[in-house]
């Protein structure tokens, strides 16, 4: 039996980094691993990053797994036909209700070929504390409501980036997660360091699926998704004769966006930028307005040109996000002496109301 391991969790939690760390470990054990990425749009930074490390990478685009279930099922069937025995799948960061709309339909329709591992929600400690404060003071936004449901339905809550938490504060954080979500197994780890041994052990746990589904208000779920503007946009860079510094271009663009979001009070769900150059890939990311972006993949010191892809999810109007992205490109060009040509594509948008293809509730297993 092949294993399908579903990962959810909010934007910026480190799901892709987690999947790639898990893929490396499974591959080292001789397993045949595939990664499946997912997004509301196209031209995915996560797919590029995964393809730089994993031989078999597929994607489900233009909607979440639940609304594009037949696409997901077709991708999984194709991977199984290719003798893959571990499929690591990352849902859109604003998606929830995965147990009813993805996990159970897969078990029902493909249980003869596929073992579906425990549903895992990946958590960023800073984001968790932000939403937990909102819950405690009774100021729960629609986004905080969505976040709470992602954790409430999970079999495993994977608390990532524990290297960013002071050692004396980590026990209290983990205890708080366990107190709020006692039915889940809480696993602390740091994906960026490859420290996923306990997490992989949790994926091997049997799944009883005996806990009742947490109540979900689809109108609030839809409102939470619509609070975020989404933009997937690409530009082609032309460098001066001496070349340009691709890492500087990427970090300048996201730093400009970070500053604009902070000035406007716009919450950053996740901002990712990949820059493909002849000498290799650069990848940068941002998860909080006003912070410096993180350079995840440094790439070459100099490049003669390249193609940059932006995946931006920010609580802003689509029009504001389009303008801010254009400003970020101009700032990066000014800093690096490059010129860019914007590729045609879809402007920023808000996700449509979630309408799952299948929904199997606990009482109808």
Per-residue pLDDT tens digits for 19-41: 999 999 999 999 999 999 999 98
Read off the DSSP letter of residue 88. E
Measured CA to CA, the distance from residue 295 to residue 259 in angstroms comes to: 17
Strand partners, 341: 236
For 79-130, the pLDDT digits (tens) are 999 999 999 999 999 999 999 999 999 999 999 999 999 999 999 999 999 9
Same domain, yes or no: 186 and 278: no
Closest CA to 9 of 177, 153, 105: 153
Closest CA to 221 of 118, 37, 98, 107: 98
Indicate the pairing of strand 120-123 with strand 2-8: parallel
Same domain, yes or no: 234 and 209: no
Q: Which of 207, 223, 239 is the last residue of a domain?
A: 223
State residue 225's pLDDT score.
95
State residue 363's pLDDT score.
66
Same domain, yes or no: 188 and 258: no
Closest CA to 147 of 121, 178, 165: 121
Q: Which of 178, 201, 223 is the last residue of a domain?
A: 223
> Has residue 359 been placed in a domain?
no
Domain enclosing residue 286, as ranges:
229-342
Residues 6+ positions from 363 with CB-CB distance below 8 Å: none
Same domain, yes or no: 239 and 212: no
- Number of domains present in the structure of the chain: 2
Number of H helices, E strands in the chain: 12, 14
Same domain, yes or no: 83 and 170: yes
Residues 6+ positions from 5 with CB-CB distance below 8 Å: 22, 86, 87, 88, 89, 117, 120, 203
- pTM (2 decimals)? 0.94
Q: Which of 172, 195, 223 is the last residue of a domain?
A: 223
Handedness of CA 44, 48, 50, 55 (dihedral sign): positive
CATH number at residue 301: 3.30.70
> Has residue 362 been placed in a domain?
no
> Has residue 353 been placed in a domain?
no
Measured CA to CA, the distance from residue 60 to residue 15 in angstroms comes to: 16
């Amino acid at each position: 039996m092949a294993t399908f391991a579903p990962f959810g969790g909010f934007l910026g939690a480190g799901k892709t980094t987690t999947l790639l760390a898990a893929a490396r470990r499974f591959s080292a054990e001789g397993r045949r691993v595939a990664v499946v990425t997912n997004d509301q749009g196209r031209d995915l930074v996560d797919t590029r990053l995964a393809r730089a490390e994993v031989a078999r990478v597929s994607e489900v685009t233009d909607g979440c797994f639940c609304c594009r279930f037949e696409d997901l099922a077709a991708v999984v069937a194709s991977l199984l036909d290719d003798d893959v025995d571990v499929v690591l799948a990352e849902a859109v960061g604003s998606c929830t209700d995965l147990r009813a709309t993805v996990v159970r339909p897969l078990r029902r329709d493909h249980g003869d070929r596929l073992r579906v591992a425990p549903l895992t929600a990946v958590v960023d400690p800073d984001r968790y504390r932000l939403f937990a404060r909102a819950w405690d003071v009774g100021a729960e936004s629609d986004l905080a409501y969505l976040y709470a449901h992602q954790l409430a339905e999970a079999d495993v809550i994977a608390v990532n980036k524990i290297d960013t938490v002071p050692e004396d504060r980590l026990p209290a954080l983990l205890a708080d997660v366990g107190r709020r979500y006692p039915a889940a197994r809480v696993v602390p780890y740091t994906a960026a360091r490859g420290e996923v041994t306990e997490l992989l052990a949790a994926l091997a746990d049997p799944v009883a699926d005996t806990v009742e589904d947490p109540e979900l208000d689809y109108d609030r779920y839809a409102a939470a998704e619509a609070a975020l503007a989404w933009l997937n946009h690409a530009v082609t860079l032309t460098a001066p004769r001496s070349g340009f510094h691709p890492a500087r271009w990427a970090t300048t663009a996201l730093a400009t966006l970070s500053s604009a979001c902070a000035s406007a009070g716009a919450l950053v769900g996740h901002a990712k930028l990949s820059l493909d150059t002849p000498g290799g890939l650069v990848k940068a990311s941002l998860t909080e307005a006003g912070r410096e972006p993180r350079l995840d993949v440094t790439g070459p010191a100099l490049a003669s040109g390249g193609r940059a892809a932006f995946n931006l999810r920010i609580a802003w109007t689509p029009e504001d996000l389009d303008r801010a992205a254009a400003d970020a490109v101009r700032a990066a060009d000014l800093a690096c002496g490059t010129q860019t040509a914007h590729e045609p594509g879809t402007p920023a948008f808000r996700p449509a109301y979630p309408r799952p293809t299948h929904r199997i509730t606990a009482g109808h297993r």
